Amino acid sequence: MTDMSDDRTALDRARDDFRAEVLDAGLLVDAGEPGLYGRSGVFDDLVDRIAAFASTGFAELGAERLRFAPVFPRREFERTDYIVSFPHLTGTINGFVGSEADHKSLVTARAAGEAWDSWLSPAETALVPAVCHPLYERLSGTIPGDRVYDLRGFCFRHEPSNDPMRLQAFRMQELVFVGDPDAAHEFRTVQCERQLRGLVELGLDARLQPANDPFFGRTGRFLARNQLADEAKLEVIVPIYGDLDEGTAVASGNRHGEHFGDTFGILLPDGSAAHSTCLGWGLERIALALIRTHGVDVAAWPADVTRLLAPAP
């Protein structure tokens, strides 16, 4: 029988080894903080090809493609209640709006090696934690019927780690359904299975399982239990470190119920709040899971995988 500390050490070592392997292969470049990387051309192409694979697999849904910046209005960030549930993952933006005297104090503090952040103040923006968050405000009002959006972009989550699967800045591809409650429910059930099948076709040893978000604190534990019991979140899990952990979520399907419809005043023609669902693909995680499965030499991957990930003609 192994004790917990041995397990943790072995897992830490496995993460360090995988991190070293992708850095040595030149696929990722250490960008100076845990969970912050530069991407090589090969890795970046791979991410693009995975994103294309994910969206073309669902082309018949006729999703509207929209791209937002990785920062969005702070007041919209406020409305999502993200800070209540995930204060530990949050990233907000500060700017300098002081006087010349304030600037002088800042520069003096900095020259003395002291902290200078206190001369900054909250800007109008926050970092996007999930690519669907900048969408909802845009839909406020009455929508004529069910709609599907194809979104992609960088997300920020403050979770520094030695695990190359856990980044602070990473790209997410999402398909977001907004509309009728039953259709939203059905969308998650049906499309999540397809999401899983697509990832299995790429050779990943993937399975779908109910999951919970990492809500903060004691109230958070309660929210997590409810989310799990309602199966509001499903994750596609891939074993990256053998049996040293439970596997890593490379994609997810989330039922929000009327949460965003209610919060952002997105209404159906009968005046009730729209329901929403999103399917998310963690693009770097999928790329790394594929690298773990098929090897660091991307050019030598099995032909059937490469064919599925073919660059768009």
Binding site for ligand AMP (CB under 6 A): 130, 157, 159, 166-167, 170, 172, 235, 249-252, 280, 282, 284-285
Q: How far is the CB of 66 from Zn ion (least distance, A)?
A: 13
Pairwise CA distance, residues 67 & 189, whole Å: 25
The residues in 201-230 that bind Zn ion, with binding defined as CB under 5 A, are none
Q: How far is the CB of 272 from ligand AMP (least distance, A)?
A: 26
The interface partner of residue 132, options being Zn ion, ligand AMP, none and the CB cut-off 5 to 8 Å by kind, is: Zn ion
The residues in 274-313 that bind Zn ion, with binding defined as CB under 5 A, are 278
Please calculate the CA angle 260-266-250 and round it to the nearest 5 degrees.
35
| One-letter identity of residue 122 | P
Q: How far is the CB of 313 from ligand AMP (least distance, A)?
A: 28
Q: What is the 3-state composition of the chain as percent helix, strand, coil, each rounded to the nearest 5?
A: 40, 25, 35
The residues in 250-279 that bind Zn ion, with binding defined as CB under 5 A, are 278
The interface partner of residue 204, options being Zn ion, ligand AMP, none and the CB cut-off 5 to 8 Å by kind, is: none
**Residue 132 lies near Zn ion (rule: CB under 5 A):** yes
Please calculate the CA angle 290-295-301 and round it to the nearest 5 degrees.
80
The interface partner of residue 76, options being ligand AMP, Zn ion, none and the CB cut-off 5 to 8 Å by kind, is: none
Please calculate the CA angle 253-159-79 and round it to the nearest 5 degrees.
60
Under 8 Å between Cβ of 71 and 126: yes
x/- map, 91-130, Zn ion, by CB under 5 A: ---------------------------------------x
Pairwise CA distance, residues 81 & 70, whole Å: 18
Nearest CB to ligand AMP, comparing residues 102 and 185:
185
The interface partner of residue 249, options being ligand AMP, Zn ion, none and the CB cut-off 5 to 8 Å by kind, is: ligand AMP
Angle formed by the axes of helices 4-24 and 283-294, nearest 10°: 90
Pairwise CA distance, residues 86 & 305, whole Å: 36
Applying CB under 5 A, the residues found at the interface with Zn ion are: 130, 132, 278
